[in-house]
Amino acid sequence: MHMGFTILTGFGSMLGVHFAKKSAMEIVFAFAVLSVITYFHWRKSRDRFLHWPCPRCGAEWPGDKNEKDRACKVCGLRLGQETP
């Protein structure tokens, strides 16, 4: 999702350059707006991973910013567990 959004904003920037060749200020403004949108989307995606809730009990899944633990410490649900 994040990669697709980044590619989409890149294409939007290129289209802005193509359609507005004579107005450099509009291009700079559009690039700045797309950059801010991309930044906030990145932050939302990062926070979603950092504060991922357990699907069973709703507690925050334990782990750090690089890797999550194999099981929830509150209810014991394991990653990839299909049935309770």
What does the pLDDT look like over 67-82, one tens digit per residue?
888 888 888 888 777 6
Q: What would the pLDDT profile of 33-76 be if each residue is shown by its tens digit?
A: 888 888 888 888 888 878 888 888 888 888 877 788 888 888 88
As given in the structure block, the two tokens for residue 12 are 């939007």
CA–CA distance, 84 with 71 (Å, rounded to integer): 12
**Global pTM exceeds 0.75:** no
Specify the DSSP class assigned to residue 65. S
CA-based angle 74:80:51, to the nearest 5? 50
| Residue position matching structure tokens 């410490």 | 73
